[in-house]
Amino acid sequence: MIRYSRYLMPTTKETPSDAEVVSHRLMLRAGLLRKVASGIYNYMPAGLRVLRKVERILREEMDAAGAQEILMPTVVPSELWKESGRWDAYGKELLRFKDRADREFCLGPTHEEVVTDLVRREVRSYRQLPLNLYQIQDKFRDEIRPRFGLMRGREFFMKDAYSFDADDEGAAESYRKMYDAYCRIFRRMGLDFRAVEADTGTIGGSSSHEFMVIADSGEDAIVSCASCSYGANVEKAECSLSGVAASGKGNGAAKEGAPVPGDTKGEPRKVPTPGKRTIEEVSSFLAIDPATLIKTLLFETSVGDVAVLVSGAHEVNEIKVKNHLGAEYVRLAGEERVRQVTGAPSGFAGPVGLSVRTIADLSVRSIASGATGANEKDAHLVDVVPGRDFVPEAYADLRMVREGDTCPRCAGALRFSRGIEVGHVFRLGTKYSEAMRAVYLDEGGKERVTVMGCYGIGVGRTAAAAIEQNHDDDGIVWPISIAPFEVAVIPVNVKQADVLAAAERVAEDLDARGVEVFFDDREERPGIKFKDADLTGIPVRITLGEKNVAAGFGEVRDRKTGETVRIPLPELADAAFALVGKKKAECAP
């Protein structure tokens, strides 16, 4: 049992000025966290209890899924990162430094290299596979904008796991096990989350899911189907090939999918569009539906200049363009480059007669006859027929999905929400095992490369996300599984012997039953004690006031609902114990 009078949990009334999100504010105000430097924190006793509880759930589920806990160093020699090629590729998030002998090191932001080095030394045979190693460890990433407290820190705890399998099938199975374990983990923490398909980015690999806690303050935009379980990061969200959302109505916009046969007669007409560059300006000037405008964007990419076409009703998704091209990078060309390539200022580019490589979103194929830039200042072309007047190298899904678009998996409508990425599972394939030669001998004695996966969960970010999702005007409303304490016992006035004695009795009773009790034995005004109890968010509160105790009663209050029940003193511990049990059941996997 913890006694508040002896406990370092300095609550404050003031809202800290640099805390932008509610979890950061409440963690500071509830005395869980103190800043040392930007993105670097002291964890106070109660804050550390929360992290330890998150970690306990992580350990239990990782162990149950067959992973083995290890601990790797935070200080990592540069050689390993040079072997994988990431010493140069990782950029400024990697904090590099030298030791006294001038050898280069970094603080590990993630541990693929270290674990692959370990496994290549220790694993020789197919009999040792599959292998899944995890750790819960201090990471350092020199984030460009550390903010939101534990949500985006520079030094933070992460659970990172790495699986090694003999083949793709095994790797898929390891991935599925981790995916399932993650679902159990976040359910046990009482969180409303979604696993969404994510882009695999520069890490490569075949598939990846992000686990998102749904919260308006989330930094990620996610797309989910109202009817089925489809969910994706907005960067990754696919468009249905058979349906376009509303505004594509009007002349010219046909159903997507089937190519519209090109008109064999006629040709585009040039019309003056003085100073009209944007989709809105051009479509209203020409009095046409924006969906029939063929927007033409020039990108400079690692594989050369590429023009990307999309209907005026849509936006280009750069990630899809990058993946389609297999490019290292893509970026929108500047004004100068646009002039060189199209011969016109930006806003007047079009695919007709353009000599640069051209790819088009599927929305363009459904335009029977549209308008586009004439590659000439202050002019556009109308009556432009895709397939007749220009032929892109390929039609592909290259656009951002929009709210209300048809789900790519079913007929449902897609909706947007915001999420906090708390976990990430990744099929790495052989990227690291190939580069670092993590090989084993198969049954036939043949040397093969192991197939890897990696799986991360941010400990502090998860705790912060739990607060984003569970709070009210008065403070935190912890899910009981990660609350610093389960029951707060409050003798309203500790100077009254009866009250204090009754409080001690119930606190000790619960403590003996294994309940985590926080005993507010401070000589503070009742209002302050109640406010602190609400602020710190302990799920169950027992209040012992003078009048009630004199009449043989105490109160049990549910922090979440505010429901308060008056209960005879001998039954008080039972009632609180039952409420704790009920709340624990709500955090079942």
Which spans of this chain sit near ligand ATP (rule: CB under 6 A)? 110, 141, 143, 152-153, 156, 158, 421-424, 456-458, 460-461
* Token couple for 187: 């359910």
In this structure, are residues 401 and 239 in contact, taking their beta carbons and an 8 Å threshold?
Answer: yes
| CA dihedral sign of residues 334, 336, 341, 346 | positive
Q: How far is the CB of 537 from ligand ATP (least distance, A)?
A: 21
Largest CA distance in the chain: 100
Q: Which residue's CB is nearer to ligand ATP, number 462 or number 543?
A: 462
Q: How far is the CB of 66 from ligand ATP (least distance, A)?
A: 21
Taking alpha carbons only, the member of 277, 458, 257, 514 closest to residue 366 is: 257
Q: How far is the CB of 475 from ligand ATP (least distance, A)?
A: 22
Q: How far is the CB of 527 from ligand ATP (least distance, A)?
A: 36
Q: Which residue has the tokens 């280009």?
A: 316
Q: Which residue's CB is nearer to ligand ATP, number 139 or number 529?
A: 139
Q: Which residue's CB is nearer to ligand ATP, number 422 or number 507?
A: 422
In this structure, are residues 249 and 415 in contact, taking their beta carbons and an 8 Å threshold?
Answer: no
Q: Which residue's CB is nearer to ligand ATP, number 166 or number 422?
A: 422
In this structure, are residues 138 and 95 in contact, taking their beta carbons and an 8 Å threshold?
Answer: no
Q: Which residue's CB is nearer to ligand ATP, number 110 or number 132?
A: 110
In this structure, are residues 430 and 453 in contact, taking their beta carbons and an 8 Å threshold?
Answer: no
Q: How far is the CB of 235 from ligand ATP (least distance, A)?
A: 11
DSSP 339: H
Q: Which residue's CB is nearer to ligand ATP, number 458 or number 545?
A: 458
Q: Residue 517: helix, strand or coil by DSSP? A: strand
In this structure, are residues 296 and 350 in contact, taking their beta carbons and an 8 Å threshold?
Answer: yes
In this structure, are residues 456 and 134 in contact, taking their beta carbons and an 8 Å threshold?
Answer: no
Q: Residue 87: helix, strand or coil by DSSP? A: helix
* d(C-alpha 540, C-alpha 560), whole Å: 9
Q: Which residue's CB is nearer to ligand ATP, number 219 or number 509?
A: 219
Percentages (nearest 5) of helix, strand, coil residues in the chain: 30, 30, 40
Q: Residue 407: helix, strand or coil by DSSP? A: coil
Q: How far is the CB of 220 from ligand ATP (least distance, A)?
A: 7
* d(C-alpha 210, C-alpha 500), whole Å: 49
Residue nearest to ligand ATP (CB): 458
* d(C-alpha 34, C-alpha 27), whole Å: 9
Q: How far is the CB of 417 from ligand ATP (least distance, A)?
A: 17
Q: Which residue's CB is nearer to ligand ATP, number 466 or number 579?
A: 466
Q: Which residue's CB is nearer to ligand ATP, number 322 or number 461?
A: 461
Q: How far is the CB of 519 from ligand ATP (least distance, A)?
A: 33
Locate all alpha helices (DSSP H) within 445-488, ordered by sequence. Answer: 459-469
Q: Which residue's CB is nearer to ligand ATP, number 457 or number 517?
A: 457
Q: How far is the CB of 260 from ligand ATP (least distance, A)?
A: 40
Characterize the bridge pairing of strands 33-37 and 40-43.
antiparallel
Judged on CB neighbours under 10 Å (0-12, 13-18, 19+), 585 is exposed
In this structure, are residues 442 and 156 in contact, taking their beta carbons and an 8 Å threshold?
Answer: no
Q: How far is the CB of 188 from ligand ATP (least distance, A)?
A: 16
Judged on CB neighbours under 10 Å (0-12, 13-18, 19+), 338 is buried
Q: Which residue's CB is nearer to ligand ATP, number 153 or number 350?
A: 153
Q: How far is the CB of 149 from ligand ATP (least distance, A)?
A: 9
